[in-house]
Structure 1
Amino acid sequence: MEKRVTVLMPNGRRQNVSVSANMTLLEILETSCKKHGFDSEEHCLKFHNKPVSLTQQFRFSGLPNNCVLEMEPTERRRPATNVVVCIQLVDGSREQGEFAPSATVWEVVQQLHSSNVRNYDSPVIIYMRSEVIGKNNMEQTTLKSLGILEGRAMMRLIDKKPEDLKKQANVYKPHETKAKSRDEDDQPSTSRSAMGSNGGASSGGGGGFALTSNMLKSLKRKDPEDSKEDEKSSSNQPEAKAVVTEPEPRKYDWGSGSGYLMQHQSNQMQLDDPDESPEEVPPVVNVIGPRHAILFSLDDTKKPENELPDSFFDLTVHDLKMVLRDLKRTSTGDEDAPLLTAKLRELERQKTMLSKLNQYKDCVLRIQFPDRYVLQGIFKPHESLAKVEEFVREFLANTTEEFHLFTIPPKKILPSNETLLELNLVPNAVVHFGYLTDSLNAENHRFVQEKFIKELTSEEGAHYAVQKYRLTRGVTVGAS
């Protein structure tokens, strides 16, 4: 269906502009100004008396089809500033430079990755959802036409033919059906007939929701009650063969922001005594300072590949029941819930804080530096962030430089006078470190003193230290 917008001109006339999904609002403004003789650099667009960003594409602007935009003069001419453009290759390497908005995409590619483009048969630049294919199109496309007028922007440079771009990536292809045994033929095939192929379920077209890999993993982790039911059902089938599965490794959920709980299975809540389980040797933990300070590096972490067989994504009737149950829990009470006043919301927030304060006596914080070293310490929920900053400063190589702590995403600088409980950093969270001087935040800069780096602990050892501390202190660990 053809989309268009109507622009109310300053002279009282209306201008209809046909738009596409990748068309920027700046192009709409320039098209209208060109037909009526106005200068686009001295005008802006407003929707319901609110200025709209000219750098946005129409698909991301949130504007409805056939909407009415008002064009009004600005107080001063729009300044022309350079923008920082970063290009990422397929191997993950990146190069960035500063360019004028009038520069073409081909000039940017030639300056940043000229050696790589020579070997490409069909270079393609992808920005947002816009695709600039081939050298000729890149020479005719400017950064301004893509909506890059100020700030920073990142593009991807790949080598693909235009017809390959239309193919969907990561399409699930079912395995060829194997000859079923007589026992398998006797079992009911309700789950497969109910769902069909996995591709139809994950696309969200039939059920109205999308099943992601993380959702499937959570579905496969059965509750103790569900496991008891499975044991009863398996006891009724004497001919079924027992399948021995290896226990899953301990998992920890730290997230990247504030207030993340540590998720544990029931068998992970208890820490085995090294004398009772001689096969499992506890990791080495090097305490380097007060508050059980531990330093480890994310670069030294060797995480196992998270590859799952295709059969893992075959949904069963039990999985569908759990999905339906979770959807009902999510929707129950939201539609009929009464609106809360500011005073009631504040009471709810204080109630939540008191509940956390009663449940958690300690707070585990991890301070991540730009060079991927992580400092771990244990604090009290009622302590202010200033205590954390004092703790961090003892380990810095440059103790005189001013710094701040923040959470992402989005970046939020944490105030020093608020407590960890007020900042939602309880029971544990990851905060990031940054100097106030941006030039000091380079990855090759040394942030922690060299004597502490020589006493590194593994990330698994840091997890082990937290568990052991909380168990010895008798602190209740939150469950999901």
Structure 2
Amino acid sequence: MEKRVTVLLPNNRRHNVTVKPDMTLLEILEIACAKHGFDSELHCLKFHNKEVSLTQQFRFSGLPNNCVLEMEPTDKRRTMSNVLVCIQLSDGARQQAEFAPNTTVWQVVQQLWGIQSESYQSPVIVYMRSEVIGRESMQSTTLKSLGILEGRAMMRLLDKKPEELKTQANVYKPAEVKPKAKDDDEQPSTSRSAMAAAGGSGGFALTSNMLKTLKRAAPDEQPGPNEASTSEVQKTQNNDEPERPKYDWGSGSGYALHQPKPQDKFSEEGDDSPEKQVPVVNVIGPRHAVLFSLDASNKNNDDLPDSFFDFTVNDLKMVLRDLKRTASGNEDAPLLTANLRELERQKAMLTKLNQYKDCVLRIQFPDRFVLQGMFKPHELLGKVEEFVREFLAQPSEQFHLFTIPPKKILPPSETLLELNCVPNAVLHFSYVQESLNTTIKRFLQEKYTEQLTSEEGAHFAVQKYRITKASVSSSS
């Protein structure tokens, strides 16, 4: 595709010059001056009132196609000085000397590499992606036509045919794949599988010990005779201990409502099958309100063994599955507009509204008492504040509810569904006047703090309420 440049002359006339990518701006100036009778050494070219370098080639000048260059007279006559030219051979050898810009390329080659250049069948000079091929073109090409007017220049002298210059150099050739040994095929290395799992797990690196544990517990593998005996011993040991509760990964605001390890006592007398002791639940108000203390639950948690906090095989599988699902969802997720994001948010809210008919709210006070109540997803947060005010020791004081982290004060005019409090959430209580939060020693009325329920009882109350609601809805 031919490119064109318009030169605006001092006499307000325009001249169009067809340019090539390897043409210098000095050649453009000389063509315009020769056409209209101007001296090129007394003029310069400007683009947007900024003088451009005449030694640059058009492809490297950054000028757009069909641009307008203004030709203006210069203060001093442009003089040409000697240029230091260096020519490098294909083996890395170099020779340099000073030459005038009017010197031809062939003269430079003969002076620096006269003996070597005579043995070349097709000598080629490469300068700034400009190729001068053959002796005839070298004899007609000067340093000035290449844009070498001052300073230094570096060229390469090659012995190649014009057809070979069009071929691509440094083509990548993949290495040959070595055949794997039989042991490697049968037993893949743990480090490679660990690296693969860590690469696609969204930043969670699994160690080799975890992967070994996963492999041992894989359902496809059949244990040997020794492993079968050890597994039977482990099963008999596990039967003596009560089953650990499953984790509840809550999706509401604040912290998830995880169920603590139940402190069950089994009756030694009576039936053969042990029955769990039902925790005591003290309902202190409407909405199945119960009150418990975190200090009492922490005392029971101190008695837990260290093995209780270790990851099991099922826990690792769940974590790996969730992380892979999250990573694949982030990579494949399309770009959404504001309207589509709002539509997705409304669809998620409708899904929660259809799935959960009630939500559990826990309001934690600064004195580590927790008040629990049952609410509907479509109720406003103002209803929750009215519910809390009935239990306060100073109900006339203004307060607000917030979630952490980070601290976000919840507006009373929004619903629990909009505040992401469904199916459960932990809200924190604080007076609007900050001094009251430190001076007041008792936030709730004394008659309610005397009717405490354990944290297990609070979970039991939620389960019993949901079972009752499910049975009523099924019968109706």
Query: Larger Cα Rg: Structure 1 or Structure 2?
Result: 2
Indicate the structure with greater helix content: 2
- Give the TM-score taking structure 1 as reference length: 0.47
